[in-house]
């Protein structure tokens, strides 16, 4: 008699996390030279499609991973904030490179000292610019974080925690 | 030689002249700027307005240097003009009537150093944003000062 798998048992939280972590649609918010490294990461050599995170959506409404790639100035901060607010839940934010993480070596009147002053950040990628391996490591760490998220059904408010 | 002609013909319009790595530098007073640049453009072919910027010397009596660069396409020569202006009255004539591109560059110098260009009506900020207080490239602007538009979290 042939073995047939007709059902499997798992936890709902794990199932939801597993589905979510392999369908990351990044929105690249590219402002500076880190964008060159972002192109390298998204090329075939490093193949982020292995993690389900290869297809950039160039509208924030279809994306769930906001990659802030490069320096963000004070003049640009309202744009970043609006892009973040346009994204649907669930959403995650990656600060790509030293400038997005902390302002980098720009300590002056123009540059925001880290995008976490404006929007919540889930994962920080160091480097100026980061190596592609660092970015892939960050994606994997973010996937771990996503798969560890809990999704209680009740109360409803706790299902969609407000992160801001 | 173009530079010899220049120093001879324009004598009286400038105070001092010297050579800087093969480029002629003229130091002049603010009131002579417009007349001198008009002659540079019309008689000597300095048709290209390369740049205007400023230098801040906080300890000097005339605090700012305004520095102009022009390029003559007919002679393949550059020239630099320097004007000292005091902090109380950092005013110089606008060159927007001679060179259209001066309009944008004067806006930048205006917001970064607070130099007034009389004759340029549109001195809105071009790199900075509305509501920015102070002039960030002045030496006394605090390095750590931030003027965010978006209110910070927490």
Chain B residues with at least one Cβ partner in A under 8 Å: 127-129, 136, 141, 143-150, 152-153
pLDDT at A163: 62
pLDDT at B45 over 70: yes
Q: Which residues contact B112 (CB under 8 A, 6 or more apart)?
A: B54, B127, B135, B136, B137, B138
Q: What angle do CA A129, A131, A137 make, to 5 degrees?
A: 120
From the CA of A164, how many Å to the nearest CA of chain B? 8
Q: Which residues of B touch A77 (CB under 8 A)?
A: 148-150
User: SS3 for B35-91, per residue?
Assistant: HHHHHHHHHHCCCEEEEEEEEECCCCCCCEEEEEEEEECCCCEEEEEEEEECCCCCE
| Residue labelled with tokens 């102070």 | B134
Minimum Cα–Cα distance from B127: chain A residue: A75
Adjacent-strand bridge partners of A93:
A66
Domain with B61 in it: what CATH number? 3.30.460.80
Residues B5 and A128: their CA atoms lie apart, in Å, by: 51
Q: Which residues of A touch B143 (CB under 8 A)?
A: 107-108
B128 assigned to some structural domain: no
From the CA of A160, how many Å to the nearest CA of chain B? 19
B90 assigned to some structural domain: yes
Tell me if B94 sits within 8 A of B83, measured CB to CB. Answer: no
pLDDT at B62 over 80: yes
pLDDT at B56: 93
Q: Which residues of B touch A75 (CB under 8 A)?
A: 127-129, 149
Query: What residues make up the domain containing B32?
Result: 2-118
B148 assigned to some structural domain: no
Helix (H) or strand (E) holding A18: helix A12-21
B127 assigned to some structural domain: no
Structure tokens at A75: 């003049």
Q: Which residues of B touch A78 (CB under 8 A)?
A: 149-150
Average pLDDT over residues A86-107: 91
The HSE-up count of residue B42 (CA atoms within 13 Å, CB side) is: 8
Q: Which residues contact A11 (CB under 8 A, 6 or more apart)?
A: none
Tell me if A100 sits within 8 A of A130, measured CB to CB. Answer: no
pLDDT at A150: 81
Q: Which long-range contacts does A81-85 make (Cβ < 8 Å, 24+ apart)? A: A81/A118, A81/A119, A81/B150, A83/A27, A83/A29, A84/A60, A84/A118, A84/A119
Residue-wise DSSP of A94-115: EEESHHHHH-TT--SSSB-S-G
Q: For B55-80, give one letter per residue: b (16+ CB within 10 A) or e.
A: ebeeeeeebbbbbbbbbbeebebbbb
B64 assigned to some structural domain: yes
What percent of chain B shows pLDDT beyond 90? 63
Q: Which residues of B touch A76 (CB under 8 A)?
A: none
B135 assigned to some structural domain: no
Tell me if B26 sits within 8 A of B10, measured CB to CB. Answer: yes
Tell me if A132 sits within 8 A of A34, measured CB to CB. Answer: no
Adjacent-strand bridge partners of B24:
B19, B79
B141 assigned to some structural domain: no
* Structural domains in chain B (count): 1
pLDDT at A89 over 90: no
Where do the domains of chain A lie, and which CATH numbers do they carry?
22-43+59-152 (3.40.50.12280)
Count contacts between A and B (CB, < 8 Å): 38
B49 assigned to some structural domain: yes
pLDDT at B108 over 90: yes
Among the partner-chain residues A77, A107, A108, the one whose CB lies closest to the CB of B148 is A77
Chain A residues with at least one Cβ partner in B under 8 Å: 74-75, 77-78, 81, 107-110, 112-113, 116-120, 164
Q: What is the pTM of this model?
A: 0.83
pLDDT at A158: 59
In whole numbers, what is the pLDDT of chain B averaged over residues? 91
| Candidates A79, A109, A116, partner chain B, best to mutate (most B CBs within 10 A) | A109
Structure tokens at B134: 């102070």
Average pLDDT over residues B98-114: 92
Whether residues A81 and B150 touch (CB distance < 8 A) is answered with yes
pLDDT at B7 over 80: yes
Residue A61 is given by DSSP the state G
Q: What angle do CA B7, B12, B13 make, to 5 degrees?
A: 80
Q: For residue range A111-162, list pLDDT tens digits in order.
A: 999 999 999 999 999 999 999 999 999 999 999 999 888 876 666 665 566 5
pLDDT at B26 over 70: yes
ipTM of the complex: 0.80
């Amino acid at each position: 008699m042939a073995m047939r798998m007709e059902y499997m048992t798992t936890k709902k939280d794990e199932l939801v996390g597993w589905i979510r972590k392999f369908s990351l649609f990044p929105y690249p918010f590219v402002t500076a030279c880190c964008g060159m490294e972002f192109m390298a990461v998204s090329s075939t050599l490093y193949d982020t499609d292995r993690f389900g995170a290869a297809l950039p959506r160039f509208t924030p409404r279809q994306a769930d991973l906001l990659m802030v790639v490069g320096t963000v100035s004070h003049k640009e901060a309202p744009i970043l904030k609006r892009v973040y607010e346009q994204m649907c839940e669930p959403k995650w934010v990656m600060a790509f490179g030293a400038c997005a993480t902390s302002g980098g070596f720009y300590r002056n009147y123009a540059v925001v000292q880290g995008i976490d002053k404006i929007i919540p950040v889930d994962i920080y990628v160091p480097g100026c610019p980061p190596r592609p391996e660092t970015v892939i490591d960050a994606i994997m760490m973010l996937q771990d974080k996503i798969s560890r998220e809990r999704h209680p059904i009740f109360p409803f408010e706790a299902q969609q925690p407000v992160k801001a | 030689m173009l530079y010899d002609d220049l120093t001879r013909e324009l004598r009286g319009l400038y105070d001092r002249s010297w050579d800087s790595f093969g480029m002629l530098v003229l130091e002049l007073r603010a009131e002579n700027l417009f007349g001198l640049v008009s002659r540079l453009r019309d008689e000597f072919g300095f048709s290209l307005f390369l740049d205007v910027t400023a230098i801040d010397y906080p300890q000097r009596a005339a605090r700012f240097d305004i520095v102009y660069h022009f390029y003559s396409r007919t002679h393949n020569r550059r020239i630099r003009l320097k004007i000292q202006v005091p902090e109380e009255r950092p005013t110089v004539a606008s060159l927007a009537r001679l060179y259209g591109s001066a309009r944008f560059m004067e806006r930048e110098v205006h917001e970064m150093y607070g130099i007034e260009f009389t004759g340029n009506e549109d001195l809105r900020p071009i790199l900075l944003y509305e509501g920015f207080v102070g002039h960030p490239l002045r030496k006394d602007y605090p390095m750590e000062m931030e003027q965010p538009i978006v209110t910070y979290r927490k």
